[in-house]
Amino acid sequence: MIDYVDVQVLLVEDTVEDAELMLRTLRKSGLANDLHHVQDGAEALEFLLGSGRPKSVPMPKLVLLDLKLPKVNGLEVLRQLRAQEATLRVPVVMITSSREDSDIEEAYRLGANGYVVKPVDFVQFAEAMREVGMYWLLINEVPTRPSS
Amino acid sequence: MSPPADVSTGVAAEAGHGAGVPVSAWAHAVAGACGMAALLLGVVTAMAWLSRIDSVVQPLPGFAPMQFNSALCFALSGAALLLLGRERQWAAWTALVPVGVIAAVTCIQYLLDVTTGIDQLLVEHHITTDTSHPGRMAPNTALGFLLAVIALGLHDRHVTETWRATLGVTLANVVLALGAVALIGYAGNLEAAYGWASQTRMSITAAVGMVVLGIGIFALATQGQAHDESVTLRWLSVTAVVVVSALSLVLWLTLSAQQRADLDDWLRLAAAIAADRAAQDLGERHAELARLLPYLIDDDAGAVREQAQRLAEELPELIAVARVAPDLGVVWIVSANGSAEPDPAWLAQLGSDPEHVGSMLLPGPTRTDGTVASFALWQPVKRGEASDGWLLAWHDASAFFGWMFDRVNLPELHLRVADDQGRLVHASAAPPATAWMEAAASIGIAGTPGWRVSVMPTSRLLAERVDVLPTAVLVTGLMLAVLLGCSLHLLRLVQLRGRMLTAANQELESRVAARMRDLEDARRQVQQALETEQEGRRQLRVLFDSLAEAIYTLDADGRCTYCNASCLRMLGYDSLQALLGRNMHEVIHHTRADGTPYPVEECQVYQGMLHGDGAHVDDEVLWRADGSSFEAEYWSIPVRDAGGRLIAGVVSFLDVTERNQVRAALMRRNLQQEAVAELGLAALQGLGREALMNRAATTSAEVLDVELCKVMELLPDGKHLRLVAGVGWRDGLVGVAIIDAGPRSHAGYTLSVAEPVVMEDLAQEHRFRSAPLLVEHGVVSGLSAVIHGRSGPWGVLGLHTRSPRHFDDSDVAFVQGVANLVGYTLQRDEITEELRALNDELEDRVAQRTAALEAANRELEGFSYSVSHDLRAPLRAIDGFAAVLEEDHAEALDAEGRRVLAVIRGNAAKMGRLIDELLQFSRLVRREVDTAPVDMTALAREVMEELVANEHGRPLDVRVDPLPTVHGDLVLLRQVWTNLLGNAVKYTNGRRPATIRVSGRRHGGEVVYTVTDNGVGFDMAYVDKLFGVFQRLHRESEFPGTGVGLALVQRIIARHGGRVWAEAEVGQGARFSFALPEGDEDD
């Protein structure tokens, strides 16, 4: 069902409604073609570090990571990604409902590249997602080849 | 005070103490009279000149006339004198100026021998008299006027300096002397006295005028001076000098004139004799020549020449004799030495007048110095009536007249011969002494009128003929004048000094009198003091006898000289007589308290007095008359003479037996109290139970000075006591020994009576008998007290001595005190232990509660975390999918459907806001308060500006006053301002204008900030709901909001330890205030 050939964005989101709305937004912005969605931290780690992703498929250009995830929570996922050489430089933007200072501080301490609070208001939410996608996929430049 | 007064005071002081009359009336009158006289003299003479009344100008034909200038000067000088007497200074000076000019110019004329024309400037000199310069004032007159002008010009009545007056008087005297000398000259017919050096003579009227003028100036000069003897003497000395000088001058003039006249007579005589001799000699030579004539007439040429030859040889002065023919040719010449030629001038003169040659004597050629070298004599040769030439004989002039002068033999005179043309022919060798004394006579030989012999005195003659008398008279006179002046001056000085001495003497006498009076006063005071002192001494005796303190006095040897009543009483003597004269040390101080002898050499009372400043002793005894002693405190004080030698001593003493006893008791009690206090302090500081017991035992034994001390604890069975601590007991007993607690033992008895027990003698004791421990240790006396525990007696504290000992109330109280202290300490320790157990339990419970609370808190945090995360997700889904429906399926819905959809979305959004604010609220509440100084003014203004900016031009009248700084959390306080000011902005919506005021002040340890607005306000009935979460007083449709803001404000302020409150009225605006603690400025 999923085309692994060119995954540009990995969305880690347990709330399916949120995921759907985000996908819809990104799609409407023309950014969702190469998007892969997983629903928990374990799946995300599997995809990025384990066997969940064929060797031929390159690392995604952006990981959108929810904070509160079943099994392995977002911060733990981030910690593990930053502990591996292969995923050290993958941009990770936290997408969460939490505005707690402690969460924000912890996320950045672990090496998050961004922290976006999901607004309740859909219009604002959609706008935020669109801008995040635009920035990281179209504007931001990353090293052409990870060291691995 | 005016300056003249000052000056006259100075003069008076200088003149000594003479109270002279400042202005002398007679001097004034004399000056006036003299001035008037001089004026009249001058005016009358001048009028006479103008009217040509010569008899007035020249009273006698032989006398000199007064010149017109002199008359004018007299008139002006007299006027000046009058004017000065009337104090018309300037007018006087104006009159004096022409006088000074005339006199000065005249003097200059004389001195420089010139003529300026001033002499006959005003009047032509028409009176014929022998005068040097027509119309010129006599030199002595001119000098007189010059001096008079100086004297009058110097005069100033207001400046009466002594030198001015002295100079004035001197000049006046000189003027007077000039006139007086001239008058004497007229009187004595002595021209030199009034006519100086052949110049114009002073007239007799001028002489009188000078005298008058001099007197006038004198009077004027002295009129301003104080007139006493000393001043008179001063003037007298000046006058004496001038007058005596003038007199000696006149005398000198008289004598020298006489001498001069004699000398002149003599010179005239000598000149006549010399001329006569010359005439005679020349006549003889002429006669010799005449003797040759007969030979010529006989034409005996040989004889003539022979005679001539003879003459030439006989007369050495004769140079040659020549025969001159009528045609002036020289026929022959006979001379002594062969060759000679006659002077052609002689031949020319003979030829010019062959018949009557003017003179037989012809001057010959001159020498280089202009004197005549030779002269010739001639005889006409006649043959009948016809002239036949001349015989000419010429002589060497010097040789001839030298020969002649020798014959005259006047070696003391200088003689000289001059020819008719005034040329010197010959002068004698002796030089003349003076040029101005000369007498001359013509050589009386026919036809030689012009030849003259003149004689002048040589110094030899003057030495012989001129007498030194006149000079001696002059010198003596002048010296006399000076001497007289000096003497008078000295006299004046002596008089002044004498006057000063008298004054000094008077002052001394008055001072001596004053000193005598002072001495008399002092004597009277001493007398009074003596009397007072005697009375004082009597009173002192009474005073001493009334003193409670004993006092006695000693002489230098320590013998009694006095005792007061207390002294006698304390020592037990009836009368003073019993002690007087006795050595007090031997009587009352002979033995020490312990009975040993007390030698006087060691006695501090006496030795301290003898060698030092006395002594103070309070630990020795004195002995009474009956042989008993008492403790005394005494002081000894030495009395010394000026040389520091002891002359007497005072000793005072008190009986201090009673005082010492009281003091000892007090000290003992003090010691006991101190011991109890120290023990108490040690107990308070947590001394252990065992250590405390030991310390109590040791301290008690030390303080009461006993051998044995015991602390006994009642054992739980209540029947035995155990020795837990003690002093003095046999080894191995303390901590071990147990005795019966029944009333038969000392300790048991103490417990049974429950009060301190004193044991005088164990052997005599009948209250208790079983005391093996005491008996074993040889105890005699004892004292014991109960130690009380929390519930009944705990034990006994006991003290024992091996010798009989009396314990007084103080000792009992001390022992009971120590026992109580031990008891209280034991009780306290028990209570402390119980408290500690209770405390530990409490702390355990607190820890449990805290743990529970912390768990609950953690749970709460987790809850809010869930809320923040989990509540929002579905909300977002609701809103999101509603939006999707709206966007993607709008056409499937009708209008109502779309409205409902909008309502759903609106509520979802509101729910989101509620959650956000609730989260913010909990977050801020949980936040750590991080305090630092906060600039509230800047903060409030910053927040206000943000809010105003969001209002987009709504008219807001906002004023933020300067606010006090406070210690607080910047983030939290910013929230406070945001909420309060935000409310103010919100609730003033619709007000035109909206007014918002922010102010702050310090008040009572707080900083109070207030936000006032003119908004809708609220009903004060609901004020208690204002700060609750989600509590709103307005409908949301009116003013949107969640109702969290003020709750947040209250939480934040509460967390700062402050308070917040509000006042308002519906429609009238609201006022929100919050107060924060002022805080420590040092933080």
Tens-place pLDDT, residues B583-626 = 888 888 888 888 888 888 888 888 888 888 888 888 888 899 88
CB pair distance less than 8 Å for A120 and B908: yes
When mean pLDDT is compared over A70-74, B532-536, B1037-1041, the highest value belongs to B532-536
Rounded mean pLDDT, B902-907:
86
The structure tokens listed for B73 are: 């000067």
Say whether pLDDT at B9 is over 50. Answer: no
Instruction: Report the candidate in A18, A9, A128 with the shortest Cα–Cα distance to residue A63.
Output: A9
A-chain CB neighbours of B872 within 8 Å are 97, 118, 120
Lowest mean pLDDT among B557-561, B912-916, B947-951: B912-916
| pLDDT bucket at B941, cuts 50 / 70 / 90 | very high
Tens-place pLDDT, residues A75-122 = 899 999 999 888 888 889 998 877 777 888 999 999 898 898 887 778
The structure tokens listed for A66 are: 């929810």
When mean pLDDT is compared over A19-23, A67-71, B79-83, the highest value belongs to B79-83
**Residues present in chain A in total:** 148
Instruction: Report the candidate in B1057, B1064, B1063 with the shortest Cα–Cα distance to residue B1079.
Output: B1057
CB distance from B999 to chain A under 8 Å? no
Which pLDDT score is estimated for B19? 39
Cβ of B995: how many Cβ atoms within 10 Å?
16
Which pLDDT score is estimated for B1037? 66
Which of B867, B879, B904, B920 has the highest number of chain A CBs within 10 A, making it the mutation to test binding with A? B879
Q: What percent of chain B has pLDDT over 70?
A: 93
Chain B residues 891-950 within an 8 A CB cutoff of chain A: 905, 908-909, 911-912, 915-916, 919, 923
Smallest Cα distance from B869 to chain A, Å = 5
Do residues B708 and B779 touch, judged by C-beta distance below 8 A? yes
Which pLDDT score is estimated for B12? 37
Cβ of B276: how many Cβ atoms within 10 Å?
15
A–B CB contacts, 8 A cutoff, strictly below: 66
Q: Report the first-to-last Cα separation within chain B, whole angstroms.
A: 81
Tens-place pLDDT, residues B1025-1063 = 888 776 777 776 677 777 778 888 888 898 888 999 999
CB distance from B883 to chain A under 8 Å? yes
Say whether pLDDT at B355 is over 70. Answer: no
A-chain CB neighbours of B883 within 8 Å are 122-123, 126
Tens-place pLDDT, residues B659-714 = 888 888 888 888 888 888 888 888 888 778 888 888 888 888 888 888 899 899 88
| pLDDT bucket at B1010, cuts 50 / 70 / 90 | very high
The C-alpha atoms of residue B313 and residue B1057 are separated, in whole angstroms, by 176
Quick one: closest CA in B to A15, which residue?
Answer: B873
Quick one: closest CA in B to A122, which residue?
Answer: B880
Lowest mean pLDDT among B410-424, B992-1006, B1025-1039: B1025-1039
| pLDDT bucket at A148, cuts 50 / 70 / 90 | very low
Instruction: Tell me the DSSP string of B56-123.
Output: HHSSSTTSPPPPHHHHHHHHHHHHHHHHHHTT-HHHHHHHHHHHHHHHHHHHHHHHHT---S-TTSSS
Instruction: Report the candidate in B209, B214, B232 with the shortest Cα–Cα distance to residue B168.
Output: B214
CB distance from B1030 to chain A under 8 Å? no
Q: Which residue has the higher pLDDT, B526 or B121?
A: B526
Instruction: Tell me the DSSP string of A51-102.
Output: SSS-TTSPPPSEEEE-SS-SSS-HHHHHHHHHHSSTTTTS-EEEEES---HH
> What is the SS3 assignment for B562?
strand
| pLDDT bucket at B1071, cuts 50 / 70 / 90 | very high
Say whether pLDDT at B131 is over 80. Answer: no
Cβ of A25: how many Cβ atoms within 10 Å?
21
| pLDDT bucket at B2, cuts 50 / 70 / 90 | very low
Lowest mean pLDDT among B418-427, B520-529, B975-984: B418-427
CB pair distance less than 8 Å for B915 and A120: yes
| pLDDT bucket at B402, cuts 50 / 70 / 90 | confident
Quick one: closest CA in A to B884, which residue?
Answer: A21
The C-alpha atoms of residue A98 and residue A116 are separated, in whole angstroms, by 9
Q: Which residue has the higher pLDDT, B704 or B449?
A: B704
A-chain CB neighbours of B912 within 8 Å are 119-121
Residue B643's contacts (CB-CB under 8 Å, 6 or more residues apart) are none
> What is the SS3 assignment for B362?
strand
Which of A14, A97, A101, A117 has the highest number of chain B CBs within 10 A, making it the mutation to test binding with B? A97
CA angle B449, B455, B461 (to 5 degrees): 165
Do residues B1000 and B1008 touch, judged by C-beta distance below 8 A? yes
Which pLDDT score is estimated for B964? 92
Which pLDDT score is estimated for B674? 87
| pLDDT bucket at B1083, cuts 50 / 70 / 90 | very low
| pLDDT bucket at A32, cuts 50 / 70 / 90 | low
Rounded mean pLDDT, B354-370:
70
The C-alpha atoms of residue B157 and residue B677 are separated, in whole angstroms, by 107
Q: Which of B872, B881, B909 sits opposite A97 (nearest CB)?
A: B872
The one-letter amino acid code at A52 reads: G
| pLDDT bucket at B7, cuts 50 / 70 / 90 | very low
The C-alpha atoms of residue B783 and residue B758 are separated, in whole angstroms, by 5
Residue B203's contacts (CB-CB under 8 Å, 6 or more residues apart) are B58, B63, B64, B65, B66, B67, B70, B138
| pLDDT bucket at B22, cuts 50 / 70 / 90 | very low
Q: What percent of chain B has pLDDT over 90?
A: 12
How far is residue B127 from each of residues B45, B124, B207, B767, measured CA to CA in Å? 13, 9, 19, 176
Sign of CA dihedral B1014, B1019, B1024, B1027: negative
Which pLDDT score is estimated for B841? 93
Which pLDDT score is estimated for B17? 39
